[in-house]
Structures are given as C-alpha cells and as structure tokens.
Amino acid sequence: MNAAAKTQNSPAETLESIETPALVLDLARVERNIARLSQRLESLGVGFRPHVKTAKSVDVAERLFASGRGPITVSTIKEAEYFADAGFTDMTYAVGLAPDKIARVQALVERGIGVTVLIDTIEQAQALADAAPTGNMPGVLIEIDCDGHRGGLVPGDPQLPAIAGILRAGGVELCGVLTHAGESYNCRNGEGIPEAAEQERAAAVEAAEFLRRHGHAAPVVSVGSTPTAHFARDLRGVTEVRAGVFMFFDLVMSGIGVCTPDDIALSVLATVIGHKPDKGWILTDAGWMAMSRDRGTARHPVDQGYGVVCDIDGVVHPDVIVTDASQEHGTVSVRPGSTASLPDLAIGQRIRILPNHACATGAQHDRYQVVRSGDREIVATWQRMRGW
C-alpha cells in the first residue's frame, strides 16, 4: 500500500486521539465572529484592516476577506514577512518603529509589499529620513494618544507637524494617523464602550485635521480595538478600523461585554491526570505553558482564574475554573464562593478550557486543531507563526 492510500484509509483524528495539551479552534465560531464585525463595519461605511496578531495564521487570515487577501495589521516584522510570503501585499505594522528594523521594512517594500509603519517621535522620523537614500521606503502613520493608555501624541501636539516636516524633507510619505482605544479594555458589561469609541474617533479625526491645517496630507485615519469596533455608533472622518481578538474572542472580551462564552472560538484541550478530593482539586496536563500566565479577568467582577472549564464538546461546567497553574499542571476547582459541584472527571478524561486572553494562549502553541461546533473530528491542522 502506498503512502497516499495509507493516509486516505487512516482513521480521522479526533479530540479523543490527539496529544494534549492542544490548541482547539472552532471554525464555525470563527466564521460567525468574522461575519458579525465585517457586516457591522460595512453598515457604518468604513474600511476594515483586521489585526492578524491574534491568529498569526494564513489559514485564519484568508477567511477575513471574500477575496482571500486584503489589508491587514501586523504586530511584528516577522508577521509582515510571513504574510507577505503568503501573498498579502497591504499591511500596517502597528507597533512603534525601532530604527534598527527599518532595513527589514525596506526589504518588504522592495518586494512590492505596501507597508506602513508607526511612529510618534522626532527621532523615529529622522531615522526614516536618514534611511530614505538607501532604498524604497514605507509609508508612515503618526500614533495618536486618544486615552492615555500607551504611546502616541495627543491631538494638537506641536510635534505632529514637526514630525511631518522631517518626513517631507526626507522624501518619506506621511499617510495619516492611527490610534487605539486601549482604555476600552477597562470597561465592563458594555458600559462606557460607545463613549470610548467616540473619544477614539474624535481624537484621530482632530489630529488628522490639525496636520492638514499645517499643510500635511493625512488621508488615512485609522482607529480600532475589538471593544470599540463593536460599539462605535458613528465613524465620520475615519477611513479604516482595526481589530484583532474579535475573530476568536476570549474571557476578557466576555467580561467587557463584547461577546458571550458561546462566541469564544479558542480553547485548550487538556487531559485529567490527578485528583485531590480532600482539596477539591482535579489536576490536568495544561499548566501555564499551555494557557499562558495571563490573568486578564483578575480585576473583573467575575475572576475566571486561568480559564473556564468545559467538557470535551465545549459545554461549560458552571462555576468550574482553572484556579491555579504551574508550568505543566492545571488545578481545576469550583470558583470560590460558589455552591456548584466539581464534575466527576475520570483520569484520562478530556476537557476544554476557554482562555482569558486568546493572543497570549495562542502564543503558547504552534498549531490549531480545527473542529466544527459539536463535532470531535479534527477537520484541519493549521500552523501558527511565531517570532519577531
């Protein structure tokens, strides 16, 4: 029997047969989440530049666009190189540019890839201007601080036209402005997110108009976070929206009020490896190396520990969470204060765990085991890229 025939006749892998811990992706939920946000932004009349840092996978990114390819946002140069190799030709590198990365960006541009980089200092602008004689250059967006969350300049900062002037003198194209409403992650149950979205929009539009008044073009006005993308009511003056975790969602997004646990497409498959009945514990083989150390719900009204425990089919066990984790052990117990009962899980039985932060949990794995809702068969294995 040849190799092809052996493969054809081999039994399909399932959630019962693959090695654990494993990263499981529910394809139906991914497609539903993508359709939800895509249709919403289309109704608001704004472009979409999804952030692929959550998925880090061509197989997922291809499902973001009807054409299979479209404008994307990346968080590392290696991501940009990986997606360029797969035929993506329009991308924004949405992390403040380190001058020593300019050469790698130039190499992408010289391949015919449209790349835009992000800066917010005169020093970065000067580094780009100094590099311009050495090769083709990316476009530039200036980062705007809309809520004090992280980097960027506030609208009206005199450094905005100063940066623009340095770029112009160096022959580097200023494309516009970009902002990110990171403080929206501190909202709860949907409250305050529409206001955060409007603050985000207004700051970006104001900064772009400030640049224009000083004689600088700013055709791109880019905003976005998963919470504000889902709650924005008016995007006048905005040209594109970025969001990333929306395609998978996670417990942080559920706690903020953007989704429900039934929307979370990502989970970690784990195997029961021990019992401590005197302590009310079940031990699994998915510790923080499989789940990550992210405790993003710790400050939420409902602390989800290291993740919410489901049965192998993804049905949530009420008030059962991973309350502690060491490197390769996860401790499953009932949420403190709950009257729920610990499920009767035998040694060798499998569970799925919904993550706090899809980006962080995904980063612990090199592939997705893809299933369809309610089915245990592995229908595909998709690779994830890693690195910077």
Quote the pLDDT of residue 198.
97
CATH 3.30.420.40 applies to domain 261-383? no
Quote the pLDDT of residue 68.
85
User: 283-306 pLDDT, tens per residue?
Assistant: 999 999 999 999 999 999 999 999
Tell me the mean pLDDT in the region 114-133: 98
Q: What's the CA gap between 169 and 133, in Å, rounded?
A: 12
1 has pLDDT over 60: no
Does pTM surpass 0.85? yes
Hey, which residues does 222 pair with through a beta bridge?
178, 240
Domain ranges of the chain: 51-243, 261-383
What is the Cα 118 distance to its own chain's centre?
Answer: 18
129 has pLDDT over 80: yes
- Report residue 80: phi and psi, to 5°: -60, -45
Hey, which residues does 276 pair with through a beta bridge?
281
User: 227-237 pLDDT, tens per residue?
Assistant: 999 999 999 99
Say if strands 47-48 and 240-241 run parallel, antiparallel, or are unpaired.
Answer: parallel
Q: Per the CATH hierarchy, to which homologous superfamily does domain 51-243 belong?
A: Alanine racemase (3.20.20.10)
Q: What's the CA gap between 339 and 327, in Å, rounded?
A: 29
Tell me the mean pLDDT in the region 66-88: 96
Tell me the mean pLDDT in the region 60-64: 97
Quote the pLDDT of residue 6.
36
Note the residue count of the chain: 388
Tell me the mean pLDDT in the region 29-42: 98
pLDDT bin (cut points 50, 70, 90) of residue 112 is very high
Quote the pLDDT of residue 10.
63
- Cβ proximity of 265 and 248 under 8 Å: yes
Q: What's the CA gap between 291 and 330, in Å, rounded?
A: 9
- Cβ proximity of 203 and 144 under 8 Å: yes
Q: Is 382 exposed, middle or buried (0-12, 13-18, 19+ CB in 10 A)?
A: middle
381 has pLDDT over 60: yes
Tell me the mean pLDDT in the region 248-256: 97
- Cβ proximity of 321 and 306 under 8 Å: yes
Q: What angle do CA 182, 180, 110 make, to 5 degrees?
A: 135
The mean of the pLDDT values for the chain is 96
175 has pLDDT over 80: yes
Alpha helices in 44-144 (DSSP H): 58-61, 77-85, 102-110, 122-131
Quote the pLDDT of residue 3.
41
Let me know how many helices (H) and strands (E) the chain has, helices first. Answer: 12, 17
2 has pLDDT over 70: no
Distances (CA, A) of 219 to 135, 140, 208, 212: 24, 11, 8, 9
User: 144-168 pLDDT, tens per residue?
Assistant: 999 998 999 999 999 999 999 999 9
Quote the pLDDT of residue 5.
40
Helix, strand, coil distribution of the chain in percent, nearest 5: 35, 25, 40
Quote the pLDDT of residue 11.
74
DSSP structure string for 271-299: EEEEEETTTTEEEES--HHHH-S--TTTT
